[in-house]
């Protein structure tokens, strides 16, 4: 079954506001020259929390999803200094969120228990979740990469109701490939994506239409080879997405192959 690919830019703690304005102008000018439509590729950008609302209210030459990089484990409103709940994201028309990025797991000690709360809150508020999984280099070298990924999926599967699976996108991001310039080989990436789909198929029929994104040093030069893999339905792009031209070219690579 054809899955419309997703290309999502994860801007992490970047960039200053002035550069965001330029980025949007450049992306719009690329799209004007050669439009990538929604049927070809879903596009999204995850800016810092500070820029979520301004990006959400921008006019683009086609729909671009605004994606939060994180969400609180606490929901609703209340005395949680510094936090943004799924309820408040939804209230601000932010309908998508990244959960479980390896930087959150590593630097903020987010474990399965916390990630379950975040996913549950996000889904209950009607958000779509991009759930990140990935093994460390040590785990890959030990030959346990597939087990680790399976565990990370099992960690949260119990809080996802059947009907909610259609609001889940999985991003496979080997930790050792994030921001390092190294990527998984195309064969390893395809094989892991297939493994993920097979695992999710045991849980839900939505597995066959679930976008599974690859992440980790994706750039215009290597996007086409990932796009050519049957189980890779898009990319979560860090560094390269900060350049609107590169982001556009990566999207173009996925749009071209999948149509
Ligand atoms: P990268 O980051 O493209 O800079 O490797 C990917 C990510 O962390 O989502």
Q: What is the pLDDT of residue 61?
A: 85
The catalytic residue positions are 101, 173
Q: Which atom of ligand 1 is nearest to the CA of 10?
A: 9
pLDDT of residue 59: 86
DSSP 15-26: --HHHHHHHHHH
| Structural tokens at position 76 | 């609703």
Distance between Cα 209 and ligand 1 center (Å): 24
Mutational test site, ligand 1, from 179, 181, 249, max ligand atoms within 8 Å of CB: 179
Statement: residue 233 has pLDDT above 50: yes
Q: Is the pLDDT of residue 164 over 50?
A: yes
Instruction: Give the span between the Cα atoms of 76 and 14, in whole angstroms.
Output: 27
For tokens 């556009």, name the residue: 248
Sign (positive or negative) of CA dihedral 68, 2, 28, 30: positive
pLDDT at 259 over 70: no
User: pLDDT digits over 10-67, tens only?
Assistant: 999 999 999 999 999 999 999 999 999 999 999 999 999 999 999 999 888 899 999 9
Q: How far is the CA of 48 from the centre of ligand 1 (A)?
A: 15
Which ligand 1 atom is nearest residue 241's CA? Answer: 3
């Amino acid at each position: 079954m054809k899955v419309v690919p997703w290309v999502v830019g994860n801007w992490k703690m970047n960039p200053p506001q002035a550069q965001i304005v330029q980025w949007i102008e450049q992306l719009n000018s690329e799209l004007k020259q050669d439009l990538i439509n929604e049927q070809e590729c879903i596009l999204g950008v995850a800016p810092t929390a500070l820029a979520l609302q301004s990006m959400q209210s921008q006019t683009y030459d086609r729909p671009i999803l605004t994606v939060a990089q994180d969400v609180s484990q606490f929901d609703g409103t209340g005395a949680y200094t510094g936090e943004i709940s799924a309820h408040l994201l939804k209230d601000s028309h932010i309908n998508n969120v990244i959960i479980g990025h390896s930087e959150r797991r590593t630097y903020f000690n987010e474990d399965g228990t916390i990630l379950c709360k975040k996913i549950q809150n996000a889904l209950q508020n009607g958000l779509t979740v991009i759930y990140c999984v990935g093994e460390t280099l040590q785990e890959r070298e030990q030959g346990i990469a597939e087990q680790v990924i399976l565990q990370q999926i099992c960690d949260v599967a119990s809080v996802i109701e059947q009907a909610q699976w259609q609001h889940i996108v999985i991003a496979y991001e080997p930790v050792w490939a994030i921001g390092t310039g190294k990527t998984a080989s195309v064969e390893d990436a395809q094989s892991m994506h297939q493994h993920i789909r097979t695992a999710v198929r045991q849980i839900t029929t939505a597995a066959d239409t679930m976008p599974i994104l690859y992440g980790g040093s994706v750039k215009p030069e290597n996007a086409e080879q990932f796009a050519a893999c049957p189980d890779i339905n898009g990319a979560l792009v860090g560094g390269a997405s900060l350049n609107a031209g590169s982001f556009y070219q990566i999207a173009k690579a996925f749009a071209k192959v999948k149509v």
